[in-house]
Amino acid sequence: MANSTEDDTDAQYLGRLVLALIGLMPGLVIHSFIVGVNVTDWWKRRSVTPVDHIVTSLGISRMCIQCGNAVHFLFHPLFWRSQHAGVTLILGIIYDFLIYVSIWLTSLLSIVFCLKISNFHTRLFLYLKGMIVHRTVYFIVASVLLPAINSLITLLLGITKVFNNGTYNKMMTNLTYCTIIDSVYPVTIGAIFPLFFYCISSVVLFTSLYHHITKMKMSSNLSISLETYYSMIKFVAFNSIYNTAYLICYSSCIFYYYVYCVTLDWFLVILGFIPVLHSSYLIYRTAKLRSQMSKVFQNVTDFLFQRKDTETKENIEIVALGQ
């Protein structure tokens, strides 16, 4: 996705660029932390769950999206002003590909949570649970390949349209990425399908938790704690809010871009910040990640205080020598 309106002032562009870079730094730190912890566990042959595989892949895709946002705000105005067809087309398709991968992985994470936590015992549910949970790596690969094939088809269609207009080896004068691409097919495969699966899995998980809590409340055993189930409902609710906000921002960008050929750059900035909040919440809710984050904070605090104490001692020694 790509064009900035030419009427934007330099101040507005600079403001968006600064915000994108501000979001880039904590985003890379948080996403790389998640990836680093899980990769380290895998390297040391510790237990790595299917959820860890998905969260790690999601962290990598979000790091790429953050970098894509930065590249968009840094270099895209240059290519847009020069109206270069090839660069504009490739940048837009790569960015859309990264967005679609993130959406598919988020949906896969929701499906795996649903299958692992829900207590349904139908044949279909048990079959899906055994197939998906134990073959998570294959579904992660599929979550990357589907957007890749989708983006490749979109690229070929775009190049064909550019060729037909005789502008492939020239500066693009009448064509832009938004007029080259028919958005219905790529958006349907890349975003609508996975979000549909996400909604189904979320509703199933919420229904299962609700019925389970209702049964436990009706039970005579009042010593059973429901805090874990309430906590899981909060987790499902937070994920739903995240996906709703992300969908609204992305849908708005898609609508205005392909209908009016205008990029809502402020929404792109928001799209860079929202995954950072979600990844932060994943760290907070995952015991392993939360424990490792506490250790990192503790080590940083110890290092800073130790350095401060060392500087204080050196200053005292210098004063003593001066006397």
Domain segments of the chain as ranges: 10-285, 291-323
Mean pLDDT computed over 100-107: 90
Rounded to two decimals, the pTM is 0.81
Higher-pLDDT residue of 93, 86: 93
Find out whether 2 and 177 touch, Cβ atoms under 8 Å: yes
Question: Shortest CA distance to 88 belongs to which of 97, 80, 96?
Answer: 80
| Tokens coding 28 | 């890379």
pLDDT-derived band at 85 (thresholds 50, 70, 90) equals low
Could you give the percent of the chain with pLDDT greater than 90?
11
- Residue closest to 49 by CA, chosen among 291, 295, 287: 287
| pLDDT band of 175, cuts 50, 70, 90 | very low
Say which DSSP state 220 is in: S
The burial class, CB within 10 Å (0-12 / 13-18 / 19+), for 106 is buried
Structure tokens at 192: 């609508």
Helix or strand or coil: residue 84? strand
Cα-based angle 16, 20, 25 (whole degrees, multiple of 5)? 150
Answer for the pair 72, 160: CB distance below 8 angstroms, yes or no.
no
Bridge partners of 84? 171
Helix residue ranges per DSSP H, 219-286: 227-260, 265-285
pLDDT tens digits along 128-156: 888 888 889 999 999 999 989 888 887 88
Angle between helices 85-117 and 123-133 (to 10 degrees): 130
Residue 67 pLDDT class (50, 70, 90 cuts): confident
Q: Are 284 and 290 in contact (CB under 8 A)?
A: yes
The yes or no reply on domain 10-285 and CATH 1.20.1070.10 is yes
Q: How many CB atoms lie under 10 A from the CB of residue 75?
A: 12
Query: Which residue's structure tokens are 């995952």?
Result: 286
